[in-house]
Structure 1
């Protein structure tokens, strides 16, 4: 998949294209339907499928104090878009200046002159251009003027009565319901970051953990203990058949209240392994199921008993034993 961060990076004469536009935070199942539509249309007409998205998220520019936390980081989003088979992603810098374009200026510069779009795939609630003045009717009218078709995708699904959306995923994660979020995402929610040194308390207790850096990508869900998987992308690239590439883990999120901690941390104990050295390695944590909330224990003995129980539940969930 080709990745461009400016319109002038698009090769001259690139196209024709089938294009969709969106923030694609989380790249959930609703997004997947739209992406499948552009890929299908492109393959059927000999065109190329292109997703246009933005960095930072528009809400972070227009309402920085009210902007919701993002489900995934930029690199995670690009990787997820690539999984859906698009030929290219145009990641445009979103600024107040960019937002001042009229709907027609955006369409002409980006979709017509930049990408030579023959079809634009959008939802009925599409908004674009200055003050979100462009809507579906405006897109259809501009297509008639500038020579592209508009393919409308209706809402494509719901889970437990809630429409597939980034907002729903965000709410579920902030409640700790990673299984519910996975039902909307179509996959487990992930966190990606470098393993850094922590306080080594886990090792002292017999449960050495891989601590993610504070700048890890991905929305950190509610404090608690989770069952999940620790993936090692670099190792899987160099040694795809290694049994150590994907490992079962019990994942703790919180401030370690038993030790009067203050900083929220994400740390993963790989089940039944004390021999791993992951420092400096970038890992991906897949959160499968919430086990329990974070609680404060009165001493180490009850904490260790609970950690043993957490590991046993994670083992049963992940490995069936």
Structure 2
């Protein structure tokens, strides 16, 4: 997967199919969108592109009180790459970007910078200043795009959303969270002997306690302490580690 930061120096894309979103958690609802964009790209002999934002839009818009992230940018890149996405464009979400009207975003960013031919959106997707854009807006304005709307996702009759999964992780219900995510809960940190520190202060960790987990694929018993440090019984090589719950 190729990763691009911003719109500068983007290459020419072949028959691109694009989807846009924060994709916090890359959960089972997101998977429907991502598989649809991948299939659409392959169906037209083209490339899949995911647009995502850094930082999370709520931070820029001053609505970050209580926000905890299911995935840091590093974790999001890891998960999207596993899914076979061809290209990831990370958009710096600043105040200027947040003020773009829907037509500016589609015309200048999607079509202008990538040559998008297909756009895949969720049933409740909103975009542009004050969330004025929607599937109906895209459908009525055209923009020369084929627009595909993806329906809501349920797991065991429960609506899937980042909000629901955040609540489950916050309560330490890791098996249920993994079920709604459609993959184990991912944490990337840095190890120093038997302690692992997560560098992003917004990363959501389960509450203090002991958990079954894997570190770099090896099963272990992991303790989350009151300072939100992860402690293992094993001495680990210093450096980056991948933890799954």
Q: TM-score, normalised by structure 1?
A: 0.72
Q: Which has the larger radius of gyration?
A: 1
Q: Per the alignment, in what secondary structure is the counterpart of residue 280 of structure 1? A: strand
- Map of 2:214 onto structure 1: 229
- Map of 1:184 onto structure 2: 180
Distance in 2 of aligned mates of 1:228 and 1:265: 14
1:123, CA displacement in angstroms?
A: 1.2
Distance in 2 of aligned mates of 1:265 and 1:75: 19
1:136, CA displacement in angstroms?
A: 1.6
Change (3 A) 1:68 1:162: farther
Which runs of no fewer than 5 residues in structure 1 stay unpaired? 198-209, 232-245, 256-262, 271-275, 288-321
| Richer in helix (by share) | 1
Question: 2:33, 2:120 within 8 Å by CA — same for their partners in 1?
Answer: yes
Distance in 2 of aligned mates of 1:216 and 1:148: 37
| Richer in strand (by share) | 2
Q: Per the alignment, in what secondary structure is the counterpart of residue 194 of structure 1? A: strand
- Map of 1:116 onto structure 2: 115
Distance in 1 of aligned mates of 2:243 and 2:146: 41
Q: Does 1:195 align with 2:191?
A: yes
Distance in 2 of aligned mates of 1:91 and 1:119: 19
Question: 2:223, 2:232 within 8 Å by CA — same for their partners in 1?
Answer: yes
1:86, CA displacement in angstroms?
A: 1.2
Q: Does 1:268 align with 2:235?
A: no
Change (3 A) 1:123 1:112: same
Q: Does 1:152 align with 2:110?
A: no
Distance in 2 of aligned mates of 1:152 and 1:101: 22
1:100, CA displacement in angstroms?
A: 0.5
1:216, CA displacement in angstroms?
A: 5.7
Which runs of no fewer than 5 residues in structure 2 stay unpaired? none
- Map of 2:83 onto structure 1: 84
- Map of 2:50 onto structure 1: 51
- Map of 1:253 onto structure 2: 224
- Map of 1:319 onto structure 2: none
Q: Does 1:2 align with 2:15?
A: no
Distance in 2 of aligned mates of 1:59 and 1:192: 22
1:214, CA displacement in angstroms?
A: 4.4
Q: TM-score, normalised by structure 2?
A: 0.94
Distance in 1 of aligned mates of 2:220 and 2:120: 40
Change (3 A) 1:156 1:10: same
Distance in 2 of aligned mates of 1:65 and 1:187: 26
Question: 1:194, 1:216 within 8 Å by CA — same for their partners in 2?
Answer: no
Question: 2:215, 2:241 within 8 Å by CA — same for their partners in 1?
Answer: yes
Distance in 1 of aligned mates of 2:225 and 2:63: 25
RMSD of aligned alpha carbons: 1.6
The one-character-per-residue Cα deviations of 1:65-103 (angstroms, maximum 9, x if unpaired) are 425200011011011111111110111000111101110
The one-character-per-residue Cα deviations of 1:105-124 (angstroms, maximum 9, x if unpaired) are 00011111111111101012
The one-character-per-residue Cα deviations of 1:236-291 (angstroms, maximum 9, x if unpaired) are xxxxxxxxxx3221111123xxxxxxx33211224xxxxx4x2422111211xxxx
Match of 1:211 among 187, 192, 195: 195
1:64, CA displacement in angstroms?
A: 4.2
RCO higher in 1 or 2 (8 Å CA, sep ≥ 6)? 2
